């Protein structure tokens, strides 16, 4: 006769199941906390973005990214290590389609103010900002309006001044020395102008310089053709046409009350850079 016995689970199996349940619970809890952290960060980014839209006079919210994880510990302390902001179509003075990018570090924003949508108390320890002005905006500045289909390309300062580039030391294009003044750069402005009743494509090599909150384009010489195949423009034509390429662009005050310190010519645009310390978020708006 066999005895009916119900074997009890081994203690080790019970402990293993308990440990697995604990691990699964911790994983679920971690997922909930991470989701909550991202949710709080998204809310804060949205709040800052809405305020930035109002102050910059935009029709759409700019892109705002609060870097660093976890966000919650930054929010509780009210100290944010790094925030990025970017926007397009920002109106500054007579310019209507300016791109703005800013990197904000050591940002102090009390959690209570941020939760209530109050950004007036936000202070920025250090920021690097830049605005990019498109050729289409620059073409609306007198007397550049006389140039049809205006285009912008970078040029070396040496080529602007002499018609020749310095020999390259790395097998590529010449580069600007680190010690060179970054408040000026070479620029090639091209477009169609009317000469003796005919439209002719002219290339103007000029300096672009920062003077406070204004940019000056100072033409040096004209060419038919580009920097690879050139034809000398007669002096009489140079004298008559050069003034059409001389212009002053008033950028007003850059966002965040940054003073311009550097200018860079890109293909189709000009970028102005600046830095500032200990500024208020409420001073984001550009000068009128």
Residue range 94-133, pLDDT digits in tens: 788 888 898 988 988 877 776 676 767 788 888 888 889 9
Q: Do 139 and 265 belong together in one domain?
A: yes
Cα–Cα dist 53/59, whole Å: 7
Residue 233 has a pLDDT of 74
Residue 251 has a pLDDT of 78
Q: Do 106 and 196 belong together in one domain?
A: no
Residue 170 domain flag: no
Q: Do 95 and 123 belong together in one domain?
A: yes
| Inter-residue long-range contacts of 211-216, CB under 8 Å, 24+ positions, other chains counted | 212/260, 213/250, 213/251, 213/252, 213/253, 213/254, 213/259, 213/260, 213/287, 214/248, 214/249, 214/250, 214/251, 215/248, 215/249, 215/251, 215/263, 215/270, 215/272, 216/247, 216/248, 216/249
Q: Do 84 and 144 belong together in one domain?
A: no
Residue 284 has a pLDDT of 59
- 82 vs 24 pLDDT, higher one: 82
CA-based nearest residue to 100, from 53, 139, 170, 163: 53
What's the distance, CA 203 to chain centroid? 28
Number of domain units in the chain: 2
Q: SS3 string of 58-94? A: CCCCCEEEECCCCHHHHHHHCEEEEEEEEEEEEEECC
**pLDDT at 41 exceeding the cut of 90:** no
Residue 238 domain flag: yes
Q: Give me the mean pLDDT over the 77-93 stretch.
A: 84
Residue 28 domain flag: no
Average pLDDT, the chain: 78
pTM, two decimals, is 0.74
Cα–Cα dist 263/141, whole Å: 18
Q: Do 139 and 222 belong together in one domain?
A: yes
Residue 206 has a pLDDT of 95
Give the three-state DSSP class for 274: strand
- Unique residue bearing structure tokens 């300016």: 98
Q: Do 154 and 244 belong together in one domain?
A: yes
**pLDDT at 273 exceeding the cut of 70:** yes
Cα–Cα dist 69/37, whole Å: 8
Element of type H or E holding 26? helix 11-56
Residue 234 domain flag: yes
166-190: pLDDT as tens digits: 655 444 444 455 556 789 999 999 9
Phi, psi of 218 (to 5 degrees): -115, 105
Q: Which sign, positive or negative, has the C-alpha torsion 201, 205, 211, 212?
A: positive
Residue 113 domain flag: yes
Residue 266 CB neighbours (<10 A): 14
Q: What's the pLDDT band for 67 if we cut at 50, 70, 90?
A: confident
Q: Which domain holds residue 62?
A: 38-133+273-283
Q: Do 226 and 156 belong together in one domain?
A: yes
Residue 277 domain flag: yes
Q: How many residues does the chain have?
A: 288
Residue 32 domain flag: no
Residue 288 has a pLDDT of 42
Residue 84 domain flag: yes
Q: Do 110 and 142 belong together in one domain?
A: no
Q: Do 111 and 144 belong together in one domain?
A: no
Query: Which residues face 55 on adjacent strands?
Result: none
Q: Do 54 and 157 belong together in one domain?
A: no
Measured CA angle at 198 (ends 195, 203), to 5 deg: 60
């Amino acid at each position: 006769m066999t005895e009916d016995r119900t074997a009890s689970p081994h203690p080790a199996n019970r402990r293993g199941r308990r440990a697995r349940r604990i691990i699964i619970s911790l994983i679920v809890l971690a997922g909930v906390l991470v989701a909550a952290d991202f949710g709080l960060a998204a809310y804060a980014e949205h709040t800052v973005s809405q305020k930035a839209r109002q102050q910059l006079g935009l029709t759409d919210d700019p892109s705002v990214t609060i870097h660093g994880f976890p966000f919650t510990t930054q929010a509780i302390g009210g100290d944010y290590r790094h925030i990025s902001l970017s926007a397009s179509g920002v109106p500054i003075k007579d310019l209507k389609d300016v791109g703005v990018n800013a990197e904000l570090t050591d940002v102090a924003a009390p959690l209570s103010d941020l939760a209530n949508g109050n950004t007036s108390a936000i202070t920025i320890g250090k920021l690097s900002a830049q605005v990019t002005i498109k050729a289409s905006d620059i073409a609306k500045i007198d007397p550049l309006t006389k140039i049809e289909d205006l285009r912008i390309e970078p040029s070396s300062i040496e080529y602007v001044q002499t018609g020749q580039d310095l020999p390259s030391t790395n097998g590529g294009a010449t580069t600007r020395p680190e010690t060179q003044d970054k408040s000026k750069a070479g620029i090639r402005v091209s477009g169609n102008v009317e000469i003796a009743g005919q439209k002719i494509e002219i290339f103007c090599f000029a300096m672009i310089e920062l003077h406070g909150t204004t940019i000056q384009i100072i033409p040096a010489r004209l060419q038919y053709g580009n920097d690879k195949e050139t034809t000398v423009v007669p002096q009489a034509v140079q004298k008559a046409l050069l003034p059409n390429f001389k212009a002053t662009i008033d950028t007003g005050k850059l966002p965040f009350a940054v003073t311009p310190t550097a200018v860079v010519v890109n293909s189709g645009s000009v970028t102005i850079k600046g830095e500032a310390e200990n500024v208020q978020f409420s001073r984001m708006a550009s000068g009128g």
